Amino acid sequence: MSEPRPASEPEVRTHYGACNLCEAICGLEFKVQGRKILSIRGDEADPLSRGHICPKAVALRDLYEDPDRLRKPLRRTESGWQEMDWDAAFELVAERLAGIIKAHGGNAVGAYLGNPSVHNYGHLTHAPALLRQLQTRNRYSATSVDQLPSQLMSYWLYGHQLLLAIPDLDRTQYFFVLGANPMASNGSLMTVPDFRNRVKALHARGGRMVVIDPRRSETAEVADEHHFIRPGGDAWLLLAMLQVIFAERLEKPGRLAEWLDGLDEVRAAVAPFTPERAAPQTGIAAEDIRRLAREFAAAEAAVCYGRMGVSVQAFGSVCQWAIQLLNLVTGNFDRAGGAMFTSPALDLIDSPASRPGHFGKWQSRVSGLPEFGGELPVAVLAEEILTPGEGQIRAMVTMAGNPILSTPNGAQLDRAFAQLEFMVSLDIYLNETTRHADVILPPTSALEHDHYDLIFHHFAVRNSARYNQPLFEKPADARHDWEILSEVGQRLATKLGNKPQNGPRPDQVVDFGLQSGPYGAARRSPDSSMPPLSLKTLKEHPHGIDLGPLQPSLPGRLRSEGQRIRCAVPLVLADIERLAALPETAAGLRLIGRRHVRSNNSWMHNSERLVKGKPRHQLLMHPADLAARGLADGAPVRVRSRVGEITVEVQSSVEMMPGVVSLPHGWGHAREGVRLGVAQAHAGVSVNDLTDERELDAVSGNAALNGLAVEVLAA
Ligand SMILES: Nc1nc2c(c(=O)[nH]1)N[C@H]1C(S)=C(S)[C@@H](COP(=O)(O)OP(=O)(O)OC[C@H]3O[C@@H](n4cnc5c(=O)[nH]c(N)nc54)[C@H](O)[C@@H]3O)O[C@H]1N2
Ligand SMILES: Nc1nc2c(c(=O)[nH]1)N[C@H]1C(S)=C(S)[C@@H](COP(=O)(O)OP(=O)(O)OC[C@H]3O[C@@H](n4cnc5c(=O)[nH]c(N)nc54)[C@H](O)[C@@H]3O)O[C@H]1N2
Ligand code: SF4
Ligand SMILES: [Mo]
């Protein structure tokens, strides 16, 4: 028998939740006593994550308890930041935004949505109404420093920006990975908790994994084969693989042929990209390129997958297109072990609110870059603030974003934000970006609101659904993200003379979506052994419900016109022609990014637990490159690009391809006015003070953060 508890001590309770920090959406088991968190573990009964977690899950506790996390609205005053009450904060924000919109039009207000806004379902349900009130073409998000080319290709090829083809990792026999490091990132546009064990299973069934990366990453470490590639050389590699497949008649689309158009144009477009021509551009031998193409085409079930390394680079759209084409022409699409569409319980593709996307309906004012899905590339945000004229941005709304540390030429954006007439930030911290705000509106922490993952079930390697109640009640005077968005939107509407809209709560939206979704009462097949899904069913199953492996879904799932897959995308083919004519890239050092499992973009460095130990923000460089410059391992060095210079410690690393250096993003907390005690003590420098807002993927306008030409000099 256990010791009797003192009467004052609350009972220990177990609570199930899901981690919303990254795309892996791991199930969690919390033990708490009152408001005290005793432990955070993986939920063994979660059908997708099966007990897996990473060190960041435990840091959810640090975020919750962090004294620097804002709990009351803050207002900038002459004498510094002052707390204010919610009503006054909402009134001030609505008044200032309305004033600017009335005087200068909607485009005078810019909006930036950061990464956590897609991990927080109340954001997804309630941001659109506020954005509608803003009536601005100056909408930006982290998409254009990330997955924009993938979404654009899905829109062009399959007819919907969320219709991404996901590697069927649990059944593939040949996993061909370019520019992704799921061992550190836990997967992206591939929700794959427990990547390590899934790769072990791949090996156990005789499968292979090949990794293409300028750094021998943690993922390359567990692969069967790794090739260094010159940063930005991937388009050459992928097009050459397609060339080999066509030239050697290895294409076998099989049943896919029925839906594919334009393969003759594709064959002609890739014809100049022979392995011999690709070899010097990639640093990979022609015979290896040829062998990789043959192996891929011959594999029993193969899938090609590429993420950040091939997305945020100069030919990101060509890369993401070529990845789709490799899967399509070899028949490794819409079949077990290949690239497949998912069937999420709440399906944003097949819903009344579905937004398939649109491209180029308008252009940015200064540089003429195209919108996609209503957003402009964030690389032009600073110039839209700094360039005077009709439509100039005078005020900003940032929501769950830290673009000063996350977007190219952050120092320029820093200067731009400093000259705004008004800025409001929906954020939990006073950080590099929000320090420019006039008002900061802080939402509840992740442990104080419920969670259903609206986005990442769409990208998961297995279908499942999970809803969890909040671990803790929110404090009396706290507001959820969705409540803040809703309140600001309604007050703004009133001030602009529009009708205020008050939509259903996020959980009501989810309940409706589940009931009308593929496993809901309305559409579930009568012989199903599963209960029809609704919020109630999911509440009764706090570990989540398994909905089985991915299923073939062509042609019904396609949202393209006539349900055809038009492979010959004109803008992509034009960029391929441009690539073929480009001179070989100049010699000199190239800079790439990296991620570490104990870090999460720019905002988790205030957890002592995560940042302690040896620093993880050094510049990695091959020993031969150090020697050639007379630099010593561990010494401070200056790194210089067209836009800036930073000083950082260099670390000798044989993981790096010679000629390539690597620096993670999200650091650089020494900027004045930041209130992040722990992070400031582990500040690092921001790689985005080097990245160049003019270096873009020409097709999409996505930032080309990888492959930047830099010089490294002794400090
Ligand atoms: N050089 C280089 N730059 C990169 C990348 C790279 O690889 N290299 N990666 C890019 C990628 S993939 C991404 S996604 C972007 C990320 O870019 P951003 O989204 O701009 O930056 P984050 O670091 O995710 O900042 C998130 C912000 O949201 C706040 N926040 C956290 N949780 C919540 C919440 O629940 N509600 C609200 N309202 N706020 C919250 C945090 O305090 C922080 O201010 O960075 C990009 N930048
Ligand atoms: N621990 C942790 N997890 C995260 C995040 C985090 O910050 N920390 N961020 C989350 C977010 S927002 C995202 S978008 C995902 C990203 O998920 P991933 O894309 O899997 O993560 P990265 O580490 O950016 O992997 C990019 C890889 O591309 C390589 N690379 C760079 N340039 C090139 C190139 O030109 N060609 C090729 N072939 N490779 C290149 C880099 O060396 C690196 O290994 O991770 C998510 N998960
Ligand atoms: S991998 Fe880590 S950060 Fe990502 S969801 Fe799982 S526990 Fe959270
Ligand atoms: Mo991202």
Between CA 340 and CA 349, with CA 345 as vertex, the angle to 5 degrees is 60
Q: Is 428 a pocket residue for ligand 1 (Cβ < 6 Å)?
A: yes
Rounded distance, CA 624 to CA 409, Å? 29
* Nearest residue by C-alpha to atom 45 in ligand 2: 185
Q: How many residues does the chain have?
A: 715
Rounded distance, CA 90 to CA 62, Å? 28
DSSP secondary structure string, 275-296?
A: HHHHHHHHTS-HHHHHHHHHHH
* Nearest residue by C-alpha to atom 24 in ligand 1: 115
Q: Is 162 a pocket residue for ligand 3 (Cβ < 6 Å)?
A: no
Q: pLDDT digits over 182-208, tens only?
A: 999 999 999 999 999 999 999 999 999
Distance (Å) from CA 669 to ligand 1 centroid:
14
Q: pLDDT digits over 358-413, tens only?
A: 999 999 999 999 999 999 999 999 999 999 999 999 999 999 999 999 999 999 99
Domain with CATH 3.40.228.10 in the chain: 168-335+559-579
CB neighbour burial string for 75-108, b if at least 16 within 10 angstroms, e if fewer: bbeeeebeebebeebbebbbebbbebbeebebbb
pLDDT interval class at 502 (50, 70, 90): confident
Q: Is the pLDDT of residue 567 over 60?
A: yes
What's the confidence (pLDDT) of residue 1?
43
Q: Which atom of ligand 3 is nearest to the CA of 49?
A: 6
What's the confidence (pLDDT) of residue 6?
64
Domain with CATH 2.20.25.90 in the chain: 12-58
Q: Is 371 a pocket residue for ligand 2 (Cβ < 6 Å)?
A: no
Q: Which CATH number fits domain 12-58: 2.20.25.90, 2.160.10.10, 3.40.50.300, 2.40.30.10?
A: 2.20.25.90
Mean pLDDT of the residues in the chain? 97
| Cβ contact 131:139 at 8 Å | yes
Percent of the chain at pLDDT exceeding 70: 99
Distance (Å) from CA 114 to ligand 1 centroid:
5
> Beta-strand (E) ranges in 348-461?
359-363, 370-372, 395-399, 422-426, 439-441, 451-452
CB neighbour burial string for 218-249, b if at least 16 within 10 angstroms, e if fewer: bbbebbeebbbbbbbbbbbbbbbbbbbbbeee
Q: Which atom of ligand 2 is nearest to the CA of 595?
A: 23
What's the confidence (pLDDT) of residue 699?
98
> Beta-strand (E) ranges in 450-514?
451-452, 462-465, 467-468
Domain with CATH 3.40.50.740 in the chain: 90-144+348-549
Q: Which atom of ligand 1 is nearest to the CA of 595?
A: 7
DSSP secondary structure string, 301-317?
A: SEEEEE-HHHHSSTTHH
Chain centroid to Cα 665, Å, comes to 13
67 C-beta neighbours (distance < 10 Å), count: 8
- The mean pLDDT of 459-473, rounded to a whole number, is 98
Q: Is 92 a pocket residue for ligand 3 (Cβ < 6 Å)?
A: no
| Cβ contact 239:322 at 8 Å | yes
What's the confidence (pLDDT) of residue 356?
97
* Nearest residue by C-alpha to atom 11 in ligand 1: 146
Question: 168-335+559-579: what CATH class?
Answer: alpha beta
pLDDT interval class at 4 (50, 70, 90): low
Distance (Å) from CA 705 to ligand 2 centroid:
11
* Nearest residue by C-alpha to atom 45 in ligand 1: 406
Give the architecture (CATH level 2) of 90-144+348-549.
3-Layer(aba) Sandwich (3.40)
Q: Is the pLDDT of residue 173 over 70?
A: yes
Q: Is 19 a pocket residue for ligand 3 (Cβ < 6 Å)?
A: yes
Report the residue among 16, 21, 118 best suited for mutation to probe ligand 3: largest number of ligand atoms under 8 A from its CB: 21
Q: Is 598 a pocket residue for ligand 3 (Cβ < 6 Å)?
A: no
Q: Which atom of ligand 1 is nearest to the CA of 600?
A: 23
Q: Which two tokens stand for residue 663?
A: 């620096």
- pTM for the predicted model, two decimal places: 0.98
What's the confidence (pLDDT) of residue 528?
73
Domain 587-714: which topology? Barwin-like endoglucanases (2.40.40)
pLDDT interval class at 7 (50, 70, 90): low
What's the confidence (pLDDT) of residue 59?
98
Q: Tell me which residue of 299, 205, 174, 279 sits closest to 236, measured CA to CA.
A: 279
**SS3 state of residue 562:** helix
Strand partners, 82: 75
Bridge pairing between strands 208-212 and 27-33 = unpaired
